[in-house]
Amino acid sequence: MEPTRNSHATLVDLLDRVLDKGLVIHADLIISVAGVPLIGVNLRAALAGMETMLKYGVMTEWDERTRAWEREHRKKKEISAVPGEEIILEMLGSYYYSEGIYTAWRMGRIYLTDKRLIVYHPSFEEVLFETPLEKIKGVALEIEEKYFTAKERENLCLLLKSGDVVRLHALDTLKLKEALEQRMSTLGLGWQEVPSLAAHDERTASFLSQGEEAICSGKMWHLTSPRGIMAESWKPGHLYLSNKRLCWWYDFEGKVGFEIPLDRIVGSTVGTRNLRPTPKNSKVLDVIYHNDLGKQVASFAGDELWQWEKALNQIVLQPVLASTKEADTCPQCGREGQANELLEQGCVYCGWVSPRLRRQLRRSALDGAAR
Amino acid sequence: MVLDIDEKSLKHGVLGLVIALVEVIRDALKLQAMKRMEGGSLTEEEVERLGQALMDLDVAIEEIKEEQGIAESVKSVRDGLDDIVDDVLDQMINPQRWKEEAEQRA
Amino acid sequence: MQYSDKTEVASRAEAIEEQGRYLYCVVDSGEKVSFGEIGIEGKEVYAILYRDICAVVHNCPAQPYRSDDQEVVKAWVMTHQKVVDAAWERWGTVLPLSFDTIIKGETEGSAERNVQDWLKQEYEGLKSKIEKVRGKAEYGVQVFWDAKVIAENLTRTSPEIRKLDEEIRLKPRGLAYMYRQRLENLIKREMESKADECFKDFYSRIRKHADDIRVEKTKKAEQGLQMIMNLSCLVYKDRYTELGEELDKINQLEGFSVRFTGPWPPYSFVGGA
C-alpha cells in the first residue's frame, strides 16, 4: 500500500497536523489569542470542502470519485505560457466544478491572456480550467440566486464549441466579461450572447440527452400522485422545458421525477385552486397530456406560471397549427369542444364537468358556506 | 396561524432542528422503554403496546422528513450535536491514555 | 522639513511591519540561507542562526494572521506547508511548527534577538528532538470498518445473536420491535468489544514497523464506515514499504479498509517536553 499526500482528499490530514501540532513555544514569547482557537473545528471541515459532501451524505462515492479523478488528472500541471503570450487581465475568481455529485466552486486566479482563458490555483499548482479563446461559442452573464440567503451573484457562463458549459465567478465578473469580449472581437472571433444558457445548470448536465437543449427552467412544486400509503402531495423541485420534453426534477431524490414528451402534451392552463394546508387560493399550472391511460393532468405551482403557459402553448401547439389537437370531445355528450375549456369550465352543451373541476367547485362552495 | 412553509423560509433550519430534537427525545423514550422491559416491570401486553407506539412514531418521523425534504438537514443537526458532545468528552478524556493502555496490553 | 517627516513616518511604519518573526520550523543546519519570497503573502523566507541550528522565518507585524475568508486562510496554510516542505527537502530533518506561530519583539530588532534567545534556551531539547526524527517521516494510518458487514459477520457467528434473531420472527409487531431493539443493543456491545480486539491486534502489528506511534482521536467517517483506529506513525523514510505491506494485509480483511497518508514532516512527534 502506498501512502498518499498531495491530493484534495488528504487536505484534512494536512490541516489536522498544521493547525494543531508542531513545536511548542512558551506563551509569553508568542502572539496568541488566549483561549480562543484561531481555527475552529467546523471551519476546518469547511476549509477541506467537506460540508458540500456531507450535505449529500454520500461521501464514500465522492471519495472514490475524487480519488479516481485525482489519479487521472493529478499530474502537477503548471501554466506553460506560449512564447510571446501576454496576460491581459488577472483576478481572483472561482470555477464551478461539477462531476456527478461532486460539485464545488474552486477558487483560483483567472488569467485572460491574448490567446486563452485560464483558471489556475497557485498553491496546488493546478490548472483548474483552460480554453483557447477560439473555442468559446457563447458568452452570458447569469444571475444566480443563493439558496438560503436570497443574495444574488453574477456568474460568467461560457458555452464552448464542444458543447460544454463552463461557469466562472470573478471578483469583478462584469469587467472580466467585457475584457474577454473585447479581446475576442480584436481577434475577429464571433460569439453568441446566449440568454438560454440560464437554463443550463448542474441538473441539466445530468439528464439532457444529445441534441436536447433546455429552453426554460424554474423552481416549481409538483403535485405527485398517490403512491402506496402516501397521499397525493406537493413536492418541491425544478421544472424544465426542453425541445424534446417537459420534465420535473425532484430535488430530494436528485433526479427527474416526472416527464412528458412534447408530442404528448395537449395544452396547459393556469387556474386557481385551494392548496392545502394554506387556506388561500393559489395559482396552479395544469398541463394536459395523453398517456396510455388516457387524458391526464399534471399540476405545478410556482412563479411566472403565465410565462410557462405561454411557452408551453407556443412550443406544443405551434407545429400542430389547426385545432385538431386542441379540440376534444365531451365524454358525456360526444360533442366537440376546446380541450382546456372542457377541463376548466365543463361542456357548454350538456353541462358535463370533469371530476377535478367538480371537486374544486365543491370546495369553493363549502368555503363560501363556511364564511 | 398557518405555517407557510416554502423553500425560501427557514424550513431547513427551524424544522430540521425541531425534528432532530424529536428524534433525540424518541431515542430517550426508547431507552427508557428498554430499561423497563429488561427490568421485568412490564407485562407482555404492555411491551406489545409500547413497541407499536414507538414503531408508529418512527414511521411518522420518517414521513415528515421525506415530505418536507429535510432528511439531510436533520442528519447534519444531529451530527453537529454529536460533535458538541464529543468536544465536551474530549476535555475529560485523554487520548494519550488509550495509547498507554494499548502499549501495556500489547 | 516635511519631506524628512514623511520618511521618518514611513520607516517607523515599516519597523512596525517587521516587529514579529513568523516561525515555520527549526532545522539542523548552521547555514544562513534565504529561500526567497516563498512565504505567506510573498514575504522573504530566511534563517536565523544559533550555533548549528536555525529557525526558518519571515518578518511580519506582531499580530496573528486572521481572515474571515476561508479561501484566504486555506492559501496561507498551504503556503506554510510549502515552506516547511522546502526546508525538509533541503536539509532532510525539520522540527515543524504549527500555523501562525509568531515571536514578537517590542522594539526594532528585538524579535530577532528573541528568536535567538529561544533557540539558545531550548538548544538541548531541540537537538534531541532533531535526533529523534532524523531520517524519519510521519505517516497517517486510519483503519475503517463497514459496520454493516461486520454486524452481519457477528450475526452469523454468534449463537446468542442468532437465537434472538429467530425469536423475533415469531413475535407480534410491537414485541418484535422491542426485541429488535434488544438485538441491536446486543450487536452494538459485541461490535464494541470486537473493535477493541481489532485495535489491540492491529496496533501491535503496526508497532513493529514504526519507531514511534501517537494515538489520535477517531473521527466521523463516511456513510456506513466507522473509523476504529487513527494513528500517526514515525517511520524511517526507507522503511515505509514494510508498514505499507502490513497495512495491505489489514486492508484485505473482510469489511476493513485502510487509509495510508504521508509522508508528512513530523508534526506529531516534536511537541511537548
Q: Quick: pLDDT tens for C29-65.
A: 888 888 888 999 889 999 999 999 999 999 988 888 8
Q: Which residues contact B94 (CB under 8 A, 6 or more apart)?
A: none
Least confident stretch, A147-161, B32-46, C153-167, C193-207: A147-161
Q: Is A60 on the interface with C (CB under 8 A)?
A: yes
**Torsion sign across C-alpha atoms A206, A212, A218, A221:** negative
Helix, strand, coil content of chain A in percent (nearest 5): 30, 40, 35
- Is the predicted pLDDT of residue C137 greater than 90, yes or no? yes
Beta strands per DSSP E along A60-206: 87-99, 102-113, 116-121, 126-132, 136-145, 152-160, 165-170, 192-193
CA distances from B15 to A301, B11, B74, C95, C119 (A): 22, 5, 8, 49, 56
Contact A79, A118 (CB under 8 A): yes
Contact between B52 and C182 using a beta-carbon 8 Å cutoff: no
Q: Quick: pLDDT tens for A274-317.
A: 665 555 567 888 888 888 778 888 888 887 787 788 888 776 65
Domain boundaries, chain A: 8-25+38-73, 87-200, 203-325, 328-371
Nearest CA in chain A to C257: A1
Contact C27, C91 (CB under 8 A): yes
- Specify which residues A90 forms β-bridges with: A111
Contact between B76 and A55 using a beta-carbon 8 Å cutoff: yes
Query: Helices marked H in chain B — which ranges?
Result: 16-39, 44-68, 71-92, 95-105
Q: Quick: pLDDT tens for A311-355.
A: 887 766 555 443 444 566 777 776 766 666 777 777 767 777 776
* Residues within 8 A of B (CB atoms), A 42-71 only: 42, 54-57
* Top-ranked range on mean pLDDT: pick from A95-99, A252-256, B15-19: B15-19
Element (H, E) at C115: helix C110-121
Pick the CATH number of A87-200 from 3.30.465.10, 3.40.50.11540, 3.40.50.720, 2.30.29.30: 2.30.29.30
Compute the half-sphere exposure of residue A223: CA atoms within 13 Å on the CB side of its CA: 16
Contact between C217 and B54 using a beta-carbon 8 Å cutoff: no
Nearest CA in chain B to C216: B95
C18 in the same domain as C37: yes
> C103 exposed, middle or buried (CB, 10 Å; 0-12, 13-18, 19+)?
buried
pLDDT of residue C10: 66
Q: How is domain A203-325 classified at the architecture level of CATH?
A: Roll (2.30)
Domain boundaries, chain B: 11-105
Contact A240, A212 (CB under 8 A): no
Q: In the structure, what pLDDT confidence band is assigned to residue A107 with cuts at 50, 70 and 90?
A: confident
Taking CB atoms and an 8 Å cutoff, what residues of chain A touch B8? 148, 150
Q: Coil, strand or helix: which one is C41?
A: helix
C22 in the same domain as C126: yes
The arithmetic mean of pLDDT across residues B62-80, rounded, is 83
Taking CB atoms and an 8 Å cutoff, what residues of chain A touch C80? 18
pLDDT of residue B7: 53
Among C133, C157, C175, give the residue marking a domain's end: C133
Least confident stretch, A2-6, A21-25, A56-60, A266-270: A56-60
pTM, rounded to two decimals: 0.54
- Is the predicted pLDDT of residue A148 greater than 50, yes or no? no
* Structural domain boundaries enclosing C24: 2-133
Mutation target among A224, A249, A252 for the B interface, most CBs of B within 10 A: A252
Taking CB atoms and an 8 Å cutoff, what residues of chain B touch C272? none
Q: Which of C177, C185, C215 sits opposite B98 (nearest CB)?
A: C215
Contact between C222 and A19 using a beta-carbon 8 Å cutoff: no
C191 in the same domain as C167: yes
C170 in the same domain as C106: no
Q: Which of C99, C224, C225 sits opposite A19 (nearest CB)?
A: C99
Q: Is C217 on the interface with B (CB under 8 A)?
A: yes
Amino acid (one-letter) located at A86: E
**Residue C134 CA, distance from chain mean position:** 18
* Distance between CA atoms of residues A99 and C29, nearest Å: 47
Confirm whether A87-200 and A203-325 share one CATH topology. Answer: yes
C255 in the same domain as C227: yes
Q: Is B66 on the interface with A (CB under 8 A)?
A: yes
- Is the predicted pLDDT of residue C240 greater than 90, yes or no? yes
The arithmetic mean of pLDDT across residues C4-27, rounded, is 75
* Distance between CA atoms of residues A147 and B8, nearest Å: 7
Among C64, C99, C133, give the residue marking a domain's end: C133
- Is the predicted pLDDT of residue C6 greater than 60, yes or no? yes
Element (H, E) at C60: strand C53-60
C158 in the same domain as C116: no
Nearest CA in chain B to A220: B7
Q: Coil, strand or helix: which one is A40?
A: coil
Q: Coil, strand or helix: which one is B88?
A: helix
First to last CA, chain A: 75
Average pLDDT, chain C: 88
Average pLDDT, chain A: 71
- Is the predicted pLDDT of residue C145 greater than 90, yes or no? yes
* Distance between CA atoms of residues C205 and C231, nearest Å: 13
The arithmetic mean of pLDDT across residues A89-96, rounded, is 84
Q: How many domains does chain C have?
A: 2
